[in-house]
Amino acid sequence: MAIQGKISKISGPVVQAEGVAGLEMHELTMVGEAELIGEVVRVEGETATIQVYEDTVGLKPGERVTGSGLPLAVELGPGLLMGIYDGIQRPLEVIQKMTGDFIKRGVKSPALSRGTKWHFVPVAKKGSKVQGGAVLGTVQETPLFLHKIMVPPRLSGTVKSIAKEGDYLIEDTVAEIETSSGIEELKLYQRWPVREPRPYQERLEPSDPLITGQRIIDTFFPVAKGGAVAIPGGFGTGKTITSHQLAAWSDAEIIVYIGCGERGNEMTEVLLTFPEWKDPKSGRPLMERTVLIANTSNMPVSAREASIYTGVTIAEYFRDMGYNVAIMADSTSRWAEALREISGRLEEMPAEEGFPSYLSSRLGEFYERAGRVRTLNGEYGSVTLIGAVSPPGGDFSEPVTVHTKRFVRAFWALDSSLASQRHYPAINWLTSYSEYVDYVEHWWTPLTGGQWRQKTLRAMEILKREDELKEVIRLVGSEALPEPEKLVMETARLLREGFLQQNAYDPIDTYSSPEKQYKLLTSILAFHESANRAIAAGVPASKISSLPALAELAKLRMSVPSEKISIIDDFMSKLLKEIDALTEEKS
């Protein structure tokens, strides 16, 4: 029998209920006459504190609170892809048809459509032994994605019956498993608590890079599949556009995009552009491999706190099928602000800048769910977490950024000064870092003849030297520099304008294949080495810098498609001959 009590106190999204002995932590509850969705966050004797995921305006002391006996969980099955959900997995498109453009209190709808039929193809055989994660059958959910219907993680036994190939509703039984405790009927979907990581056999070291098509990321600050990344940056530095680019072009098989506390217009842009964008591999709409969690800043703050867990649980489900999944969480700062507000309502002792003392552990729990694993069914899958951070005023010393750095291994620091110069992506190459370079170097070796690490280090030396020389130039002017140092400034300019910059709205430049990235980088470095020899022979740096071909070198990123990179070789052959001619003239 469901546990029932009464509301004794209301403080914003936090409600206190009395007479509810037996309620458990994280149990799903129905609050008030409207049966608002809530979750137990504190239990003290017969009193429970509940955070409500809907607007509590109009709620009164004395109204009933009913426990469900179940934790806050998500539905996992066919129909997730192309879905748009709020922070607690309510389908927004369905609710819009029910209530209009604004979500009314107490509105409920199952996350997965109960009226859609899916074509089920059985894989498991009657009489076979199965354990958690075993594949019972498949459903072609979209043209891009084969959905594997799996045994829930904690279940094992013998297949007593399996459905024939055909069309089934999501509530239809497709298999019966005989377990030690009886017969379990399995449907096309399963449920899983959002705050509990899904189990796996073994956690593995990162191996292959997540190719994003963004040159500064793939070449200088790569992330491995199963890695964790932070993208901190102040207002206007391009966090959202960077997240969009990663979602559109990364080679992950599934994208989960979480708009956590972002402005409505930013989520509107996602909803309008994602259906139009094409998957780079197949040419199909990107939405066919995407799940959107939209929890905008005008939605209840407690649902914002849950949205992160909803998204990562969905990602782990796809990982368990053996897929590589990428999560874009924009932004974790808004999630941390939700934690701060709820903590204040709970009257907890605040820590630095008002955030709760457990902020660090909560961030750790979230980023810990990234990883490359061997799944329960022996396949290999990964979840890559990419979290945008919005430090007030671009101050990277604030708590969310500082604690996030402890749990991520790649840090793409967005720079306001670069953004003001219209240099995008505004990732500062001097303050960013990646600890995945050693893991992914083997992947680049056959592509670059083992030269990738050497070339990137050489380019970074030039960029660091440019930063040092800027201080000298401010004091004595550029004309006082020695000729080799003038060349360093010119090569650094080419690296910035011809390699690090990338135009998300240019049809050619928006994506660079790894082959094109390496070709552009080696071309600029080849120019530098050739020009160095010319300067050693007495050719002035100004004469080399005035070559018309240099302007074209900086524009190759936008003029040469990834499938026609041989054009770069032809161009460089001509440029190097021009530099050699200058050397011969001098000698």
Establish whether 375 is an annotated binding residue: no
Query: CA torsion angle for 364, 368, 369, 375 (degrees, to 10)?
Result: -160
Pairing relationship of beta strands 290-295 and 254-260 according to DSSP bridges: parallel
What is the spatial distance between Cα 108 and Cα 50, in angstroms, rounded to a whole number?
19
3-state SS class at 324: strand
Q: Flag whether 510 is marked binding.
A: no
* Paired tokens of 522: 């080696």
Other CB atoms within a 10 A radius of the CB of residue 29 amount to 29
First-last CA distance in the chain: 96
Q: Is 108 annotated as a binding residue?
A: no
Rounded CA separation 136/152 (Å): 11
CA 536 vs CA 179, 479, 587: distances in Å: 80, 18, 11
331/264 Cα distance (integer angstroms)? 13
| C-alpha distances in Å from residue 581, one per residue of 68, 347, 534, 541, 577 | 82, 76, 9, 14, 6
Instruction: Please state the φ and ψ torsions of residue 433, each to the nearest 5 degrees.
Output: -155, 165
What's the rounded Cα separation, in Å, for the pair 327 and 318? Answer: 12
CA distances from 350 to 10, 51, 300, 339, 347 (A): 20, 18, 21, 11, 9
Element at 411 (helix H, strand E) = strand 410-411
d(CA 7, CA 31): 8
Instruction: Report the C-alpha gap between 499 and 507 in whole angstroms.
Output: 16
**238 labeled binding residue:** yes
Of 586, 338, 406, 565, which is closest to residue 483 (Cα–Cα)? 586
Q: How many residues appear in the chain?
A: 587
168 burial type by CB count under 10 A (0-12 exposed, 13-18 middle, 19+ buried): buried
> Per the annotation, does 456 bind a ligand?
no
On whether the CB atoms of residues 199 and 215 are closer than 8 A, the answer is no
Letter string b/e over residues 72-107, b meaning 16 or more CB atoms within 10 A of that residue's CB:
bbbbbbbbbbbbbbbbbbbbbebbeeeeeeebebee
| 129 annotated to bind ligand | no
CB count, 10 Å around CB of 451? 16
Residue 307 CB: number of other CB atoms within 10 A? 28
Residue 45: how many other CB atoms lie within 10 Å: 8
Binding residue positions: 233-240
User: Binding site for ATP, residues?
Assistant: 233-240
